[in-house]
Every structure is written in C-alpha cells, then in structure tokens.
A and B are shown apart, each in its own frame.
Chain A
C-alpha cells in the first residue's frame, strides 16, 4: 500500500463518522519500489493530498526529505516533485496496520493489501 493510497481511506467503524480519518499507519515491512517519474500526472494528484496525514505517515516510516506542504509554483519545482514522487508512490507498505483513531479498530495490511472489511456489528447503521 502506497502512501498515496493511505491518504484516502477513512474508517467506517460504527459511530465514528468523519472522525474516522485519518487511519494511523503502522508498518512492519516496507519496500521501496522505484517508479518512473512523471511530473504531469503527479501534478494532478498533488492538490488532492491531505498534508497532515501524509506527514504523519511519512514520519511513521521514518522518511526524510519530505516536503512540508504546497508551495507556490510547486508544479515546476522539480526537487519538490521528485520528493513527492518518492513519498507518495515509491514507499510501499507490505505488512502493517491501519488504526481507526476513534474506535481503535485495527485493519491489517498484508502482502500490500489493506483489509478494510468489517464484521457486520461494527459497520455504521
């Protein structure tokens, strides 16, 4: 699971609602996947990023060289884009957990795939 993907999901555990985001990431196994750098498509994705979430996740993974936020003219700033490229797309969590901040429920990540299925009792009504 990439950090870009982690940036998206929210927890839908019962009663939690919007406070079910972000899910706290813990990683026991991480791999770096070199990916082809494509500044144009990256520039499309960057505005959608939730920065606080990204920074927290990057911190958990002990990443350095993480931009702190959007700066003006970011889409022409190659250094910025390359750093974002690495953080969002190249760090891959193979094993770990995602934790709902409100309920504490743990969703496992196994073989790169987060399992976000809930048993019936816990889903929101």
Chain B
C-alpha cells in the first residue's frame, strides 16, 4: 500500500463521502470501500463515525407480504448460505488485529490513559464505513503480511503518544483473537439495527436472537454479551442488509487527542478540511467553545497560526484542558473576547471557521457581519449553521427579507438591518479598525454582510438534528450586486453513487 492521498469530500444533500484508492460506493450514509490499508491508516480516517469490516451486503429483506417465520429463514440464510465468507472475514479481522498488536508493542504507551467521556454520540444516524474485501481479499492479505514492522514505526509518530483505553481494549482484542486459534472457541455478540419497514415488523432484539442462534449452530461459537471476542453488527433497512465486524472498539469519531468534545469531531474535521487551510495561514474561530474545530485543524494542518475566541470562562477552561491533553497548547492561542468586539485589525485573518450556536436566538446569525470585517478579501469562512440560521441567510442572499418593515423592531432589530442588502452601502466607509458593540443603536453601524459570496453548502446530520456546513468567500465587490445573485447551491439526493477516489493517510 504505500503513500495514498486522501481527500475528504461532503456532497450536497447530506452524508459524508470518503475517497479511497479503489471503487467506493456511497449508499445512504454508509460508504463502502476496498482498501489495502492497515489499521493505523484506517484509524486516521477523520470524517467517519465508525468503521466496519464487511461480511455481507445484499438486497434488503422483503418483509411485505411474507410470514414472519419465512423472514426469519431469510435472516438465517445470511449466516448459512455462505459460511465461508464469514470465516474469511473473521480471518482478515484477526490478521488486522495481530499486525496491529505487533506494532503496538513498538510504540510508546501512556501510563495513564485519558479518561474518555462517554458521549451521546451513539446516534440515530451514524455515518459508517465498511471495508469491503472480496476479490481484493487475497491481495490485501498479502499486503498486510508483507508489511514491514519498521514501516509501521515510522508512521507512528506523535499520533500515538496519547494512548488511551481504546488501545488497551484493542490489545485485548488482539490477544483474544490470537488466543482463540480454533475459530470454534470464539465468543461473540450480535448488535442489530433495523430501520424502515423491517423495523415495523421486527425488533432489533428478535433479529439479534435469530442471527445469534444461527451463528451458534453454524460455527459452534458461544454468545457472550459482556465481553465477547467478536462483535457482529447487522443493519437491516429498506435499501440493504449489511453485516460487518466493527474494526475498532471505540468509534473513530472519538479522538484520542480530544478530551472533551464539543462539536462532533467528524464535522469539525470536515469544516476544517473545507476551509482549505494552507501553511502560514491565520485561522480564527471567533466562537470556539471547547476548541474542537481548532483541535481537529491543528492536528491535521500544524504549520498554521490558530486563534480561538470565546466569552465564556468555563468554555475557555475546557478548551485549555483539551489543548493540553492533545499537546497542542502551543499551537492555538486563546482570547477571552466577544465576537462583536474582536480586537483584531480589519482584513487580518485568512480563514474563519465556526460553529454558530444553535437555538432560537437570532443574535448569533446577526453577528456574522462582525466576522466579515476581520477577514481579508479572498479569505474563506466555513460555518456550521442550524437549519433556522441557514434559512435566514438564504433569504438574505436571495434579496427577499421576510421580516417586518424596516421601521419596526422585532426582538432582534439588527437582523433586518444587517442582512438587508440594499440599504447599507454607506457603512463600508464607517468601519474603522476598532470594533463595534451590540447596543441597539449600534447595529446601524454594522458592516455589510453582503461582501460574502456563498461558495457551497453541505447538509450534515448531527444525530437528532440536521445542519449545514456553509462556505463563503469574501469578495471585494459591492454588497448589493452579490446578494442579488441566485443561489448556486446544487441539490442532489443522496442516492447510490459509485465514486472513484484517492486515499491519503493524514500526516
């Protein structure tokens, strides 16, 4: 496998696509791909929530007019039709773990693994990856077995200095896998997810039970609900039936280097990636909270000047902790300052990335113009916007404001004023290097929002809610003409698309 170049890409309409060095399929939030990579590479996947080794992927179960008993038979066939595929998948899984265990011994281990905060990240719609290794089976196995252990050490670098429990759990996996030479001695547990029409007919427990029993009968394995060797994951929905083995105990989205995550790390990484950060850039997060976005960015693009700002002491303390835990406290400067009073010279910042706080308060989207001032012309802004915020901004872009008339004041008069395109062309002259405040009368002085040109936008899922990652560029031209431009966003459905891709390991 050697050096492979990876680019993360989120298509409009949702989901998170990942480009890898061979044919990739993207279906409804899951990305299926084939790869030769070892676990170290795979661990570095930043945009995926979880990773599975694929055992089976096939047409969905037909639950419509058939009896329950018949459908159970169908499920059993997932196990019984082709037991070889199960055994070879498990064999690959064991190989992966053994290789990784060997590399582990050569790496440095933290005596005190970080305590991981259990997140409510076990969401309804996680994005997952599956490693599909079918014909590539033989080749990939050879790839792995031929791999030199010293190659592995070179790549370890500082990624592994903050080891945590997952690595130890991992070691245990490997030990168990190796220690069960006869596949008959494997213990297993089945986790099941059902959605769509399948979910209306069966509970996840029922399905789990059927599969579990089939596995016991077919392979002689024993079920162990607490601490199994092998986890089997099944997802049944209207589009496919998928069976896989989770590759890592801890979801990929749990980063070893982030102690307390605010924003979901996959989204944070995606935003940083879209911002096209280059060496020597000045990157600002004016509402950094716990610093998740800056952490993801600094981890991947270290030769950059990062500044985070927040008004909250507790958030900044948390951010400090996170930075220390990740060893990045020297890379990211923190300021206790309000976004509306950013004490930065105009046009000094190259890139702004921010997660705009959700919630009904319009005041947050109202603060956007303040960012714009400090951004240089040609600079990029990447924002995470709730559906509400996004809709408001879209309305502004199209030039039609569904607010009250100019004279009246709603709870946030600033919104109308700052986002109303035609009005404020005289403002640009009044902007000086000092910042403005949020007093009511001062909203008149806000710089025009209109110099931001939308570039693209991507829908993402945050579990229970959705949001948009929106990218803008600051243009030098006047406000009004820009806002009159029609929105160029594509709208595509997240249907099945085959994509060719190129994978890269991150640094």
What are 22 A-B interface contacts by the 8 Å CB criterion?
A8-B343, A8-B345, A9-B344, A10-B434, A17-B434, A18-B433, A21-B433, A36-B302, A40-B303, A41-B280, A44-B281, A48-B282, A89-B330, A113-B316, A113-B334, A115-B337, A116-B336, A116-B337, A116-B343, A117-B311, A117-B337, A124-B434
| Beta-carbon contact of B330 and A33 below 8 Å | yes
- The distance from the CB of B294 to the nearest CB of chain A, in whole angstroms, is 14
Closest B residue to A115 by beta carbon equals: B336
In the bound complex, how far is the Cα of B303 from the Cα of A5, in angstroms? 16
In the bound complex, how far is the Cα of B335 from the Cα of A118, in angstroms? 13
In the bound complex, how far is the Cα of B316 from the Cα of A48, in angstroms? 27
| Beta-carbon contact of A118 and B280 below 8 Å | no
In the bound complex, how far is the Cα of B317 from the Cα of A115, in angstroms? 13
A27 interfacial contact with B, CB 8 Å: no
Chain B 414-455 residues near chain A, CB threshold 8 A: 432-437, 439, 441-442
B78 interfacial contact with A, CB 8 Å: no
Instruction: Evaluate whether A10 and B341 lie within 8 angstroms (CB atoms) in the complex, with A17-B432, A48-B348 already known.
Output: no
Interface membership of chain A positions 18-51, coded 1 if the CB is closer than 8 angstroms to chain B and 0 otherwise: 1011000000000001011010111111001000
Chain A 84-125 residues near chain B, CB threshold 8 A: 89, 92, 111-118, 120, 123-125
- The distance from the CB of A98 to the nearest CB of chain B, in whole angstroms, is 9
In the bound complex, how far is the Cα of B304 from the Cα of A87, in angstroms? 16
Residues of A within 8 A of B305 (CB): 4, 41, 45
In the bound complex, how far is the Cα of B332 from the Cα of A33, in angstroms? 13
Residues of A within 8 A of B302 (CB): 36
B384 interfacial contact with A, CB 8 Å: no
B118 interfacial contact with A, CB 8 Å: no
Closest A residue to B343 by beta carbon equals: A9
4 shortest interchain CB distances as A-B pairs: A44-B280, A41-B280, A9-B343, A41-B303
Binding site for A on B (CB under 8 A): 279-282, 302-305, 307, 311, 316, 320, 329-330, 333-338, 341, 343-345, 348, 432-437, 439, 441-442
Which of A1, A20, A43, A114 is B434 in contact with, Cβ under 8 Å?
A: A20
In the bound complex, how far is the Cα of B190 from the Cα of A83, in angstroms? 60
Apart from A123-B341, A124-B437, list 19 A-B contacts with CB within 8 A: A1-B333, A5-B335, A8-B343, A9-B335, A10-B343, A12-B343, A16-B434, A20-B434, A36-B302, A40-B280, A41-B303, A42-B280, A44-B279, A44-B281, A111-B320, A113-B320, A114-B336, A117-B311, A117-B341
Interface membership of chain A positions 70-84, coded 1 if the CB is closer than 8 angstroms to chain B and 0 otherwise: 000000000000000
Which of B280, B316, B345 is A10 in contact with, Cβ under 8 Å?
A: B345
In the bound complex, how far is the Cα of B343 from the Cα of A11, in angstroms? 6
Closest A residue to B341 by beta carbon equals: A12
Which of B281, B329, B437 is A123 in contact with, Cβ under 8 Å?
A: B437
| Beta-carbon contact of A43 and B280 below 8 Å | yes
Residues of B within 8 A of A43 (CB): 280
Residues of B within 8 A of A2 (CB): 333
- The distance from the CB of B329 to the nearest CB of chain A, in whole angstroms, is 8
Instruction: Evaluate whether A5 and B333 lie within 8 angstroms (CB atoms) in the complex, with A10-B434, A11-B343 already known.
Output: yes
| Beta-carbon contact of A124 and B436 below 8 Å | yes
Which of A35, A41, A117, A125 is B336 in contact with, Cβ under 8 Å?
A: A117
| Beta-carbon contact of B341 and A118 below 8 Å | yes
In the bound complex, how far is the Cα of B279 from the Cα of A120, in angstroms? 38
In the bound complex, how far is the Cα of B282 from the Cα of A112, in angstroms? 19
Closest B residue to A113 by beta carbon equals: B334
Closest B residue to A43 by beta carbon equals: B280
- The distance from the CB of B338 to the nearest CB of chain A, in whole angstroms, is 6
| Beta-carbon contact of B303 and A38 below 8 Å | yes
Closest A residue to B374 by beta carbon equals: A8
Residues of B within 8 A of A113 (CB): 316, 320, 334-336
Closest B residue to A20 by beta carbon equals: B434
Residues of A within 8 A of B345 (CB): 8, 10, 21
Residues of A within 8 A of B336 (CB): 113-117
| Beta-carbon contact of B304 and A41 below 8 Å | yes
Among B316, B333, B344, B348, find the residue whose CB has the most chain A CB atoms closer than 10 A. B333
Closest A residue to B281 by beta carbon equals: A44
| Beta-carbon contact of B343 and A125 below 8 Å | no
| Beta-carbon contact of A125 and B303 below 8 Å | no
Among B345, B435, B441, find the residue whose CB has the most chain A CB atoms closer than 10 A. B345
Residues of A within 8 A of B335 (CB): 5, 9, 113-114, 116
- The distance from the CB of B311 to the nearest CB of chain A, in whole angstroms, is 6
- The distance from the CB of A34 to the nearest CB of chain B, in whole angstroms, is 8
Instruction: Evaluate whether A40 and B279 lie within 8 angstroms (CB atoms) in the complex, with A8-B345, A10-B343, A116-B335 already known.
Output: yes
In the bound complex, how far is the Cα of B439 from the Cα of A11, in angstroms? 18
- The distance from the CB of A52 to the nearest CB of chain B, in whole angstroms, is 14
Residues of A within 8 A of B316 (CB): 113
Residues of A within 8 A of B330 (CB): 33, 35, 89, 92
Residues of A within 8 A of B282 (CB): 45, 48
| Beta-carbon contact of A18 and B439 below 8 Å | no
| Beta-carbon contact of A8 and B434 below 8 Å | no
| Beta-carbon contact of B433 and A117 below 8 Å | no
